[in-house]
């Protein structure tokens, strides 16, 4: 799935178990249509973690936009500061939120695949060890691996669009504030086996070691929504 535009808003997190069905309904029927209807928003995406995924990281969501400024636009901030009743209820049951506005540094794919893996680099020290430009140069090699259909390299901004909005207040209701990433990789594949092999390749060649600052997850696509669908 080649990313549209030059910027994305990426989110990871979980939802209180008793609210999970409602969360999926809300995100598909209200939240994504609301966001995609705004100027500059191009597409919304949600994926759910494979069996065994930590509840804190169970969902991955992404909004693609024409440019970063879309995520601080008057229209978008109006929505962030005037959440619907359903949004308030869902966000109050959200756990371990991670939300960052990112620039798309590199994106290569041959269509939409059902399975993805994400690597999150959380702090600046990690970014220094795993330079985004070096990871960018690996995109051709990775996408040649068997079963890999795409790779996207994202550079986070820890200051851009981090205003204390009404939505942000509700999102921290479970006692955790938004985690901001410094960079991220998204891999797309035909199956989880191919993604696992690609992740192993990245770990070996870039000395990536999973810890609290480097988080790796595997997901399957649940819902994609674009302006055409509206």
Q: Is residue 208 part of a domain?
A: yes
Question: Is 84 within a domain?
Answer: yes
Q: pLDDT (tens digit, 9 = 90+) per residue, 204-228?
A: 998 888 999 999 999 999 999 999 9
Whether residue 2 lies inside any domain: the answer is: no
Using alpha carbons, select from 51, 30, 25, 10 the residue that is nearest to residue 183: 10
50-84 pLDDT, tens digit per residue, is 999 999 999 999 999 999 999 999 999 999 999 99
> Whole-number mean pLDDT of the chain?
94
Domain CATH number, residue 108? 3.30.70.100
pLDDT in tens, 30-42: 999 999 999 999 9
134 in a domain, yes or no? yes
User: In percent, how much of the chain has pLDDT > 90?
Assistant: 84
Q: What whole-number distance in Å separates Cα of residue 55 and Cα of residue 33?
A: 25
- The dihedrals phi and psi of 33, each to the nearest 5 degrees, come to -60, -40
Examine residue 1 and state whether it is found in any structural domain, yes or no: no
Q: Which domain holds residue 158?
A: 7-229
pLDDT 10s digits, 140-153: 999 999 999 999 99
What's the pTM value of the predicted model, to 2 decimals?
Answer: 0.94
The burial of 209, by beta-carbon neighbours within 10 Å (0-12 exposed, 13-18 middle, 19 or more buried), is given as exposed
Kindly report, residue by residue over 107-128, the tens digit of the pLDDT. Answer: 999 999 999 999 999 977 666 6
Degrees to nearest 5, angle at CA 96 with 35 and 85: 45
Structure confidence at residue 158 (pLDDT) = 85
In a domain, 18, yes or no: yes
Domain contains 200: yes
Count of domains for the chain: 1
| Residue range 152-171: mean pLDDT, rounded | 91
129: pLDDT strictly greater than 70:
no
- Residue 35 belongs to a domain: yes
């Amino acid at each position: 799935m080649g990313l549209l535009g030059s910027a994305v808003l990426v989110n990871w997190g979980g939802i209180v178990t008793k609210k999970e069905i409602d969360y999926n309904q809300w995100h598909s029927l209200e939240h994504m249509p609301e966001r995609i209807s705004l100027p500059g928003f191009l597409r919304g995406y949600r994926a759910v973690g494979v069996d065994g995924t930590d509840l804190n990281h169970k969902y991955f969501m992404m909004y693609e936009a024409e440019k970063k400024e879309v995520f601080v636009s008057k229209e978008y901030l109006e929505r962030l500061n005037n959440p619907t009743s359903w949004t308030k209820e869902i966000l109050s049951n959200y756990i371990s939120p991670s939300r960052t506005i990112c620039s798309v540094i590199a994106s290569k794919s041959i269509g939409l695949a059902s399975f993805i893996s994400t690597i999150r680099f959380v702090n600046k020290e990690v970014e220094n060890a795993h330079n985004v430009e070096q990871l960018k140069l690996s995109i051709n090699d990775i996408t040649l691996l068997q079963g890999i259909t795409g790779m996207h390299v994202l550079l986070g901004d820890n200051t851009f669009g981090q205003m204390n909005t009404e939505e942000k207040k509700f999102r921290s209701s479970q006692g955790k504030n938004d985690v901001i990433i410094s960079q991220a990789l998204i891999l797309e594949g035909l199956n989880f086996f191919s993604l696992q092999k690609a992740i192993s390749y990245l770990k070996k060649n870039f000395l990536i070691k999973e810890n609290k600052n480097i988080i790796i997850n595997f997901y399957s696509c649940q819902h994609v929504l674009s302006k055409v669908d509206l």
